[in-house]
Chain A
Amino acid sequence: MAQWIKACNIDDLQPDSGVCALVAGRQVAIFYMPKESTVYALSNYDPFGKANVLSRGLIGDIKGQPVVASPLYKQHFNLQTGVCLEDESVKIPAYAIRIENGSVQVSIPE
């Protein structure tokens, strides 16, 4: 069973934007939508641009799906599943995430 690992505090998050945290050696992009009290966690690595940049992408929704757009070549990734909207064969790791007493915690599979 994967464990919840603390990534950062809620104050470290950027409202309606993303940050990157180093969690168990992995680069995790964490996105925060305060109006809906929602956080999402994806791998920070952009498989198209081959760089660790996804936390710096713009977030929003496309036809109801919450997405981040890569800042390099603008592909969209579903914030819940990590599936690329432009090419469904591409899926980046999506992590479970929760906020407990102001602590942002991510669950990284073994």
Chain B
Amino acid sequence: MRHSHLQHQHSAETVIAANIAGRLNQAQKDANRLSLAAKNLSVIAHRIGGQAAGLRTLSEFYDEFALRSIRLSEQINRLSAEISRSSVKAWRQHQLELCLEYALSQTDDVKAHTGLVSQCLQRSLLQSATLRQHSQTFRRQLHQSLADLAGFMQTIKVIAVNSRIEAAQLSAYQAQLKDLSASIDNNTNAIMSHLDFCQRELRELHDHD
């Protein structure tokens, strides 16, 4: 496991979530570039006129999916940050629990086991359980959002194939369209590679549990 050097499950969760946020920040920049390429494609299609009506429609699809990808990347970024923060809280809570458990293990005094230390421990365990629930909810949402974003990218790939077919019929603008197509391909592939990384990280997080 890549994060096997991390001794504690909470530290692994914190690092993985931060890594996902970092990669999604990159994905967001690629999605911005994707949106720009879609807008450029739309400009060219308008310039060509009626002959490029198909390409114009496809460029609108591109742009729509690029914009949705940007929004989704932002959402994933926020989710990852939430997971990271919540696991730091859980981590600190766990450290407290270890100290309280140790203190209780050192005494046979019944009062200690029913007193403040014990109450603190119970309260801390409850808070930990709540944090665990939050974390699981965030993780489910993260898993779903990553899958949605991967779906967007697949759709963009399909549109890319269609736009290449459309572009083949427009010989005057071949070079520009080829460049734009390459740019869309590159950005889509980059986002997919970020997604692949994030999904692997998330799987590793499940393995840590």
A and B: interacting chains: no
Interface set of B (CB-CB < 8 Å, partner A): none
Interface set of A (CB-CB < 8 Å, partner B): none
